[in-house]
Amino acid sequence: MRAVIQRVLRARVTVSGQETGRIGPGLLIYVGIERGDSEAEVDYLAAKIPRLRVFANESGRMDLSIMDTGGEILSVSQFTLASRIRKGRRPDFTHAADPVAAEQFYLRFNQQLASTGIPVATGEFGAFMQVESINDGPVTFVVERSGSSCFSEA
């Protein structure tokens, strides 16, 4: 499982011209579920991300989490995060999870984030989406943990 996390001033996602999610200051999270991922990876990231200290304190040092700042989360499923580009020029998507399993894990991830009290807006799983954001910093992180790849985080 891989997540790209951006600290944003605001973000929104639309599907077929209809807005499905919008946030003010907070985190835009792109979520990719891979073959071999399990509830353990979902639970790990859902617990880790709200506690990441990626917001500045009064001295300008990154020392506050989204739980400290009262920010919001926009969670967007993005299967392309499971791609590999090792040879050639075309991405290989064979590492992406089966869509049925991936959707269940994505829903679980969002429910767990929301259970912390953070407002969570979402895109639409499996849809072609347009995402607009104003990155704050810019500040962007990649967090991953996978039972099936060599990129595991302990």
Give catalytic residues, as residue numbers.
Answer: 78-80
Amino acid at 101: A
Q: Answer yes or no: are the C-beta atoms of 12 and 22 closer than 8 Å.
A: yes
Q: Answer yes or no: are the C-beta atoms of 41 and 51 closer than 8 Å.
A: no
- The strand pair at 120-122 and 72-77 is best described as parallel
Whole-angstrom distance, CA of residue 102 vs CA of residue 136: 29
Q: What is the DSSP-derived secondary structure letter of residue 88?
A: S
Q: Which residues contact 153 (CB under 8 A, 6 or more apart)?
A: 143, 144, 145
Q: What is the DSSP-derived secondary structure letter of residue 151?
A: T
